[in-house]
A and B are shown apart, each in its own frame.
Chain A
């Protein structure tokens, strides 16, 4: 079965990661079973978004048949500059999605710059993947409140609540058609609940690969004993990612 990982990171020097080249990461991901990956910065979640957007684009430029790059911006920076960086990332770097991490980037979803950024992302056709599941800035319903105000923008909960807030992620998915759920970091018992309660078309496979070692194979293994049909698995592993970013 083909597998696209909708939540990976380009390893830099932050968070104890060891930097690798685009060649090395692709080989690592392919050998673990992936046929493609949405990839986001790691170091850019700590600062210097423009520089790190450049580094990500450069790092994977020879592998655009495998990686789908996501840029980042910092909402706490001046809004016009942030929107310009978003446009530049699409126009000059070929970025196809936006990653935001309210916890690490230290902004609330109620920050006045957030909605303009989300609207601009929608205009540019970029899905926005949020880190979520972590109070005080990244709970599913905080993100859902913003998603409600930008119905034309595709919003992805990058962890679907992680552990404790997965039930809120399910509620957010039910209420807002523009919310999709990436099941990165979710365990088998919760994955079963997402599959039982949510439209299969809005579920995505993800692992945070690149952020740590050996995250892909254990995550795939977690789906295999669930008794889920191949049709549903194919949607989660592959088709839904392809539908959002062909």
Chain B
């Protein structure tokens, strides 16, 4: 079993109005995942952004060595969203989580621009869920990434399912400031991503709670990734992108 893995694609579930982390930590420990980059659950992503950011920041303060938190801000809240995001970054959250279907916008549209500018001001990366037509597709992210060439974007699930084998890699090749998160995908797609854009731009993620560490590690076995490649894919890249110090 690999150890010292950083998981860049976890969305922690809600339980009784709080964010539940214990079950995930127990599962992560079993699979050698020592640090998690997580976003809050759906209701906090869509509507209750400030509450989600506060709960996430509390957890990060409680578990600084095990958890980094992504902030949420629905762009349709305008200046309120900008203020929410700044406040979340001031509290130590490590990046912005975008979920266009949940938040009701298309990835390339300008309503998002003020939030990307905040991320650039605070030097934070952006994780965007992709794979959902019509609003969360790889080339939309590539267009956004071209517009903000100095920002860093992570293509969540690299467009899984139907965009993963077709659009994800060409979109990443179009915009060098995009990294690919391989959660949900397959053995061949992980290999294809590493071969096409280099391991420095590929991130390991489990996609919990939708997927689980078991199948996500099982799919990597036939690749027999050498330690130095695996460490970049599942540790060093995440440290660089999310500014993880521990």
> In this assembly, does B66 line the interface, its C-beta being within 8 Å of a C-beta of chain A?
no
Q: List the one stretch of A51-59, A119-127, A185-193, A195-203 in contact with chain B.
A: A185-193
> In this assembly, does B133 line the interface, its C-beta being within 8 Å of a C-beta of chain A?
yes
> In this assembly, does B161 line the interface, its C-beta being within 8 Å of a C-beta of chain A?
yes
Chain B residues 129 to 170 lying within 8 A of chain A, measured CB to CB, are 131-134, 160-162, 165
> In this assembly, does B187 line the interface, its C-beta being within 8 Å of a C-beta of chain A?
yes
Write the A127-170 contact mask toward B (1 if CB under 8 angstroms, else 0). Answer: 00000011100000000000000000000000100111000000
Given contacts A133-B161, A163-B131, A164-B101, contact A189 B211 (CB under 8 A): yes
The answer for the CA separation of A224 and B161 in the assembled complex, in Å, is 22
The answer for the CA separation of A162 and B132 in the assembled complex, in Å, is 11
Chain B residues 204 to 221 lying within 8 A of chain A, measured CB to CB, are 207-212, 214-216, 218-219, 221
Give chain B residues whose Cβ lies under 8 Å from the Cβ of A219. 215
The answer for the CA separation of A159 and B218 in the assembled complex, in Å, is 21
The answer for the CA separation of A189 and B186 in the assembled complex, in Å, is 17
Count of CB-CB pairs between chains A and B under 8 Å: 78
> In this assembly, does A177 line the interface, its C-beta being within 8 Å of a C-beta of chain B?
no
The answer to whether A189 touches B161, judged by C-beta atoms less than 8 angstroms apart, is: no
Please, how many residues of chain A have a CB less than 8 angstroms from a CB on the other chain? 26
The answer for the CA separation of A219 and B186 in the assembled complex, in Å, is 10
Give chain B residues whose Cβ lies under 8 Å from the Cβ of A159. 161
Give chain A residues whose Cβ lies under 8 Å from the Cβ of B222. 213-214
Which residue of chain B is the closest to A192 with respect to CB atoms? B209
The answer to whether A162 touches B215, judged by C-beta atoms less than 8 angstroms apart, is: no
Give chain B residues whose Cβ lies under 8 Å from the Cβ of A187. 184, 207, 210-212, 215
> In this assembly, does B32 line the interface, its C-beta being within 8 Å of a C-beta of chain A?
no
Give chain A residues whose Cβ lies under 8 Å from the Cβ of B198. none
Please, how many residues of chain B have a CB less than 8 angstroms from a CB on the other chain? 28
For the complex formed, measure the closest distance between the CB of B98 and the CB atoms of chain A, giving whole angstroms: 15
> In this assembly, does A222 line the interface, its C-beta being within 8 Å of a C-beta of chain B?
yes
The answer to whether B132 touches A213, judged by C-beta atoms less than 8 angstroms apart, is: no
The answer to whether A222 touches B188, judged by C-beta atoms less than 8 angstroms apart, is: no
Which residue of chain A is the closest to B207 with respect to CB atoms? A187
For the complex formed, measure the closest distance between the CB of A196 and the CB atoms of chain B, giving whole angstroms: 14
The answer to whether B133 touches A190, judged by C-beta atoms less than 8 angstroms apart, is: no
Given A212-B186, A218-B215, A225-B212, 20 extra CB contacts under 8 A? A16-B188, A103-B162, A133-B161, A163-B160, A163-B161, A163-B210, A164-B101, A187-B207, A187-B211, A212-B188, A212-B189, A214-B186, A217-B218, A217-B221, A218-B214, A218-B216, A218-B218, A218-B219, A222-B215, A225-B214
Query: Which 7 A/B pairs are nearest by Cβ-Cβ distance?
Result: A214-B187, A218-B215, A187-B211, A218-B218, A222-B215, A218-B219, A189-B210
Interface residues of B (CB under 8 A from A): 27, 101, 131-134, 160-162, 165, 184, 186-189, 207-212, 214-216, 218-219, 221-222
Interface residues of A (CB under 8 A from B): 15-16, 103, 133-135, 159, 162-164, 185, 187-190, 212-215, 217-219, 221-222, 224-225
